[in-house]
Chains A and B, each alone.
Chain A
Amino acid sequence: MGAPNPWFSWAYVQANRDDITTALTQHVLLTVEAVAIAALVALPLALVAFRHPRLSGLVIGTSGVLYTVPSLALFAVLYPVLRDRRTTVLVGLVVYALLVLVRNVLVGLRGVDPAVTDAARGLGQSPGRILFTVQLPNALPSVVVGLRLATVSTVALVTIGVVVGYGGLGQLMYRGFTSLYRAEIVTATVLTLAVALVADVLLWLAGRLATPWARGRR
């Protein structure tokens, strides 16, 4: 290999600005969409599991089993059925994010101090009202932790989408790999880490804003 193979090249970034922007947008959109859908599905699922303890064993068990399935295998099974690259990756990402979220929402709901729930019941609140005004707000810190965890792992997981040819920044990594060009792989990797970091900080901030009462505790 006589040609120079730098770890980073500004010239590469400038020459490939469009490709990088496309991959980055694809990556961010996939992540946001996947986590949003997962959150919408996870909340009612966790609530049902919380209300019916018998179901919660089933939900936790199933999610544990599904979580063990590697992403490559999941994409492999989904793609031939769905026949759409974007949908395949999106559905796979939603499944994994869903599992993390359901678990964390359940943990949060279960961790609510029974004395607080009792107090609300003593004030004559209905179960529904207790859920929305006492239990869910108290579970919020745990939900935020789940959201952060799900988002960060989703960002990393998007790259596996290269097996079906829709992997956001992973696509750039793969191109860099096939041409053995380091700068492209490293640029895509650093951008992936940056996306994860920014998302994590944003969610952390949102969590702090949403739970002003929890700030003093830590």
Chain B
Amino acid sequence: MYDPDIQVARVEVPARVQEYFYERIRTGKDSLDQILSEVLYLERNRIKEEKLNKRVKSDIQFLRRLNKILNRGSEEEKKEIFEELVNRYLVEITGHFSKPVYKFATIVLPRAIGLMLNPLSIKKLIEDFPNLPSVENNIHISGEIDLLKSLYRKGTIILTPTHQSNLDSPIIGLAIYMMGFDPFLYGAGLNLFENPVFSFFMHNLGAYTVDRKKKNEVYHKTLREYAIFALERGYNMLFFPGGTRSRSGAVEKRLKKGLLGTGIKAYINNLLLKREKPDIFVVPLNMSYQLVLEAETLIDDYLKESGKSRYIIEDDESSKIEKMALFIAKLFSLDAQIYLRVGKAIDVFGNFVDDEGISYDQRGRRVNRVDYLTENGEIVLDDQRDRVYTDELGETILKEFKRNNIVLTNHLVSFVAFEIFRKYHRDIDLYKLVKIGVTYKGIPLRDLARSVDKLKSELVKMHENDQIFLSPEVLNYNALDIINDALRYGSIYHKNAFLYRVGDKIYSDDLAVLFYYHNRLDGYGLEQKV
């Protein structure tokens, strides 16, 4: 967020948060003591798990004071510390955006990474100057780009991507730049800000902080009101609606509605304030990688008994810089392509929107959006109603995710190979099979090719009917070439080779990871087609 807006945010947002809680106290639904005690309790629990650093030390001091006031303070003091609490949270959340740093980063970063990764010699590079290789060459964006561009001018955008990796946000950042947009605001995990280099860039690239370890309502409300405020001010935003990286490898099937619901609130506020461009448009974005940096950790977490899985993983591959560098290097040494696909734009009620910003019902009739909020022409406030609208929005996003899922060669081959291995071991339960992890019986290459070919023709039909999206490789290669392309990734990066060839047979030493890539095609009922 730009500086002048941050100044306004620091007045406006706390006022809204406080108003919300004071209203609850006035109506007897809550008391200040109760609100503060809950914060104290949850924050102390959080602190226990944290490593001691400057930020945490300051938190501890604050909580001591809070405790004291809660025990012996006057009502006035309680009110003061509550207001201080909201301000502390807001200061932590609000990033700082600098246009010069952004310009610098977007020009330098892709080429810097491109240079590092390029397998060609430095000499060749210098000869090629000014056409330095850049990651941009490996990023392919398709779908409703023009629609996004015209709506970008007509209202405020909430971009909602699928989420697989911590590399998603930098890559989306680049994609946003490549499409010619100013940066979008997005919430990045607080842990990423601990690294001073990251922190400098992130703060200056439009990120605000989200601390998922803070579980108290005051924090959540502050975060939410900040997002609403930013949308009202016309900041385009980026939310991962799944809330966290997909554990199974599958495209999101469920969404977290918390942040998504900020869209309708901002829209209503804009209407009430009679703002010039009140509209908020939600645009889903699918991403697809041949290899996912954190695949092993994610699938491992998924396979642990459900319910025990960790919502927050901090010690995974993405926290180790060397591992990340290795990953990027490997990916690009194979000239791996990253695909992004922009979905259809949706209004905050779940209707599709055209490039004029007009909403349509499922029958294609024009819809006047404001009608969903009015009664006899007057806007009525109703949080419960808005939550249901947000559910509908979420359902439409999920449909777009499914329709725009990008199938790469590795997904197709992993899907087929895993299903064949599963048939070989019909007597073993899926989870046991995956935990055993290694197959001793290989798949004859021609069997695999036959099955890949069969599934491919099924997928081509779906692609033509707009039910899924195939990468050019999957679409144009024959089965054997698809397998060969996929095999390049099978043993290059992950600890164990999840797919490799010996003679004319295909083996896997890591069925869990194979399962992970297989899952990208989960949810289409394709299992029977292998």
A binds B: no
Q: Which residues of B does A touch, CB under 8 Å?
A: none
